[in-house]
Amino acid sequence: MRTGQERAYERMLSVAVAALQEREPERLWPLMADVLPGVCGGEALIYKLDEWNESSGTLGLSPGVATAFDLLDEESLGLLRAGYPFAHHYTRGHGHAPVTARQAAGPEWSTSPTARLIHETINVDHVLAVPLPGTTAPITGCLIYRSGTDFDDDGIRFGQRLQPLLAAVEQHRQLLARWGHVVAAGDAPASPRELADDCDLTPRETTVLLLLGDALTAAAMGRRLGISDRTVHKHIEKIYRKLGTRDRLGTVLRAQQLGLLPRSTPPVAETGRA
């Protein structure tokens, strides 16, 4: 019989799969944020996907709390952007393991200005940080909020189990956004979405095509995308079929002709199946 956590993980996995089918990169995290707090035993979520500091950066919110945060002034938003106590915790070299606010700050957490702010704003008392592994800005990731009791060890371990899944979605979002920018900046005859639709390329295949243009091996692509080499090769074979090509060099050249890759992309040498 499946445990509650197994069911929660399967639900999160299905949402992640759905997110990877989205063509628009800005829609990926809202899909995740709609489900992530609940599967982690929380009530609300803030996600931050770029440099987190007190003066800049957009806060992504789970549904139901956006209105409350819209009422905050700049000083209060700056307090949230500061990422207390997690920014200090992770920059001190504690790795990227999920941790609660009480673990990171000790008893000072409950009397901190940040704790008072989130209690007054959305009536929650506890926070679990789930940073994205492998990022240079450690606070990049999710903050999950709940009231009542704090997140227990099982909840923290579950957050850690979700990290690779969240990292894969974020890597996909970044590649989709990059692909859209390079296509839009070129002399393509149509929008990035129209070009991909015309060639019947899925969002995942467009990201693999972009990495093909970067001359990455299948192993390197797999590490970037969080998938196996075998899955990468399957994507490449489908791209060949859809573009009517037979190898990497021909695929990049054909993609340039179609406007799917910028013409400044250097032709790649054949690297076998490495």
pLDDT digits (tens, 9 = 90+) for 250-273: 999 999 999 898 876 555 544 444
Tokens at residue 250, please? 């021909």
* Residues present in the chain in total: 274
In order of 5, 52, 137, 208, the CA distances from 171 in angstroms are 25, 18, 14, 12
pLDDT for residue 53 = 65
Find the DSSP H helices in the chain: 4-19, 28-39, 66-70, 74-81, 86-91, 101-105, 113-122, 153-185, 192-198, 203-213, 218-225, 229-243, 248-258
Tokens at residue 121, please? 């704003």
Nearest to 158 by CA among 1, 2, 4: 4
pLDDT digits (tens, 9 = 90+) for 24-71: 999 999 999 999 999 999 999 999 876 666 676 667 899 988 889 888
Q: Mean pLDDT, the chain, as a whole number? A: 88
Tokens at residue 183, please? 């296509």
pTM comes to: 0.87
Beta pairing class for 126-131 and 44-48: unpaired
d(CA 236, CA 205): 8
Q: What is the dihedral of CA 74, 76, 82, 86, to 10 degrees?
A: -160
* Percent of the residues in the chain that have a pLDDT greater than 70, as a whole number: 89
